[in-house]
Structure 1
Amino acid sequence: MLPLNDTVKVEDGTDRMLVRLDRPQARNAIDAAMVADLHAVCAELERRPRILVLTGSDGIFAAGADIRELRERRREDALAGINSGLFDRIARLPMPTIAAVDGPALGGGAELAYACDFRLATPRARFGNPEAGLGIMAAAGACWRLRELVGEPLAKEILLAGRVLPAEEALAVRLVNEVVPQDELPAAADRLAARIAKNAPLALRLTKLALAAPPGAHPRFDDVAQAVLFETEEKHERMTAFLERRG
């Protein structure tokens, strides 16, 4: 059992872990206890890599960071990177990650979704970063991840002008991979996780590292990673099975 503070609910499986944010009384706002719980989740997924499916509860993904805590934070807290460090850790998890978003994903909640590899949404999902209206900035990844995901002009509208993207618009700009009815969201996340899990785990891990590598690392990184994969028994078995099916 993971050492948790009861801010998330975890369903652990062979090839995936479902983590449900569960602070309904605070609209799943991300507080220090939830940060600690998600770090515990990361530690477990680093120890035994699996696909992560991250979702909310009661029609809310996460309405942001906990404002009561945020109001009391000072310079040292910002420099400690409380949320940014967690979201970066999630982004660097060995296996792919899926955010299944129903309802609002705002502020830190949006940045948590941006840190995942895939985003699925229901029609009532909304993505936005209203931090500037609270006298701060979206400093846990949105200022650079969002630009990479949707481009600079739209990122500026969201971050500087408070634009909130509804699900269909988020799909149109490919911020989300799929929009499904609310009651189909768990099944859609399972389907995507199952598609990912059909692939060789080490190939997934090295491909994810290659995608995150800086431009200067290519093509050498890819060559070395492929050299590792060429020597695996799984590569030989999978290619043999492919040739036998084809024959």
Structure 2
Amino acid sequence: MTDLSAFAITKRWPAKHPDRIQLYSLPTPNGVKVSMMLEETGLAYEPHTINIGANETWTPEFLSLNPNGKIPAIIDPDGPDGKPFGLFESGAILVYLAEKTGKFLPTDPALKYETLQWVFFQMAAVGPMFGQLGFFHKFAGREYEDKRPRDRYAAESKRLLGVLEDRLATRQWIMGDAFTIADMALLGWVRNINGFYEAGELVDYASLKHVPAWLARGLARPAIERALNIPARP
């Protein structure tokens, strides 16, 4: 049996199945990226619910795996050279699992980097902008009298959705016929903008055609449907 005792996080969240990938997460737009990938690939894993509302990411045990204090993070008991390996940052984890399994990332160099550019597009643009819009529209920021910050993020989020709308005008998925980690990176965030964040009107979501159709296709995948509730919320 694999020994994960070198990872301090396992003291607070013990591994019942140490020979499986350990997932420390919550079903947020960032968290479900990794749940999606694990469900789609069929890799054996053990999910651990990290209650971000109770600031569990700022405990010493969690910080020992991710010093940035954010979900998700993983421990792979069968990492490089067969040794246990810890990793944080959802984009990095997607690429790691894609290369580990040989799935959902093209092997052709040009297509591989084209896929990665859309993953990074989500990481650098969609996630930060949509997240800020959610804060200023739904959470504490909605109490601010000055609506310029909200409107700035709404305008940029609308523009980013337009980029996706153009990309998907002639494609079933971000990369064409193949479902990839680029789709997984984006699905949760696009789902949130018109759903949990209740910001559809601000970004004129109703005017979009191809993005909603792509989102519906993605959410209809059984693995994606399961992943949206993994780990279970506290």
TM-score (norm 2): 0.26
Greater relative contact order (CA < 8 Å, ≥ 6 in sequence): 2
